[in-house]
Amino acid sequence: MEELKAGGRGQSIWTRPERSARGPAPEHSRAEIASAGVTLADANGLAAVTMRSAAAAIGTAPASLYRYVVTRDELVELMAEQVYGEYSYHEPGSGHPVADLLRLAQQGRAIYHRHPWLLDVPATGNLPGPNAVAFIEHALAALAGADLTGPVKLETIGLLSGVVRLFAQTEISQRRAGRDTTQWQGSLAGYLLQIAAAGQHPYLAAALADQPAGGDPAEHEPLFDRAMTRILTGLIPPARTPPPGPRR
């Protein structure tokens, strides 16, 4: 077991074959181990996932688990990779980058709400697994028509993922504190109005008083959709009009 640990140190689980070419066939799989970890984390948080608890969940000894994962961190990588597989790509793209990326963002937000422990997994530092790479591929497909370079497209996907994570983190934190997001926004607005009424913050007062006549239809959209649309619209330039063809 120590030899396996030494041999795996510094090497990503995604660069190692799941099954060794030598030795007996494994009794378990990475998918089975990941499923056990996800079930434990969904029920009791990420702290409940240990090599011992995961081994018990699949009916093996803790020492046997090291045949499949070198460390607990690798176990958590497998778990995160499995829930990234919950993205669905069946619906065809619309050809509009903002709309297609918003659809991916909505799915990502839902995944965080189903698996809040995912917020405790570092967002950087590990190589992406197959499901994470599939997400990148589909996000790039949504950006195929955007007038952006390849590196900027990848940066845009990173920014999208970061904003979705931050938005979900805020919502989940409020839920854990027993707060309703809409009620909290109402309380915040009332509080800021009281402060603005004192006359010491004219820009705040002007912003609070600036309500469109007849209401803005966009205000009736969910806050997440509204915010993500604005962010994505700012990140993605409008499609260039193709030059006219040669005259005949």
Residue 85 DSSP label: T
pLDDT of 146: 92
Choose the most confident range, by mean pLDDT, from 82-96, 98-112, 165-179, 198-212: 98-112
| The residue to which tokens 């181990």 are assigned | 33
pLDDT tens-digit map of 140-168 = 999 998 999 999 999 999 999 999 999 99
Cα separations (Å) of 7 from 31, 33, 72? 22, 21, 16
Confidence of residue 239 (pLDDT cuts 50, 70, 90): low
CB-neighbour burial class of residue 129 (10 A; exposed 0-12, middle 13-18, buried 19+): buried
The yes-or-no verdict on residue 46 having pLDDT over 70 is yes
The yes-or-no verdict on residue 89 having pLDDT over 50 is yes
Q: Show the tokens assigned to 68.
A: 């499949």
Separation between Cα atoms, residue 187 and residue 244, nearest integer Å: 54
CB-neighbour burial class of residue 131 (10 A; exposed 0-12, middle 13-18, buried 19+): middle
Residue 186 DSSP label: H
Higher pLDDT, 121 or 215: 121
Q: Tell me the average pLDDT across 86-101.
A: 92
pLDDT of 26: 61
* Predicted TM-score (pTM) of this structure: 0.82
The domain locations on the chain are 2-84, 97-210+218-235
Cα separations (Å) of 189 from 176, 196, 207, 209? 22, 10, 11, 11
Higher pLDDT, 55 or 9: 55
Separation between Cα atoms, residue 206 and residue 87, nearest integer Å: 42
pLDDT of 215: 56
The yes-or-no verdict on residue 59 having pLDDT over 80 is yes
CATH architecture of 97-210+218-235: Orthogonal Bundle (1.10)
Class of domain 2-84: mainly alpha
Cα separations (Å) of 86 from 18, 48, 83, 134, 240? 21, 22, 5, 11, 34
What is the percentage of the chain residues whose pLDDT exceeds 70?
A: 85
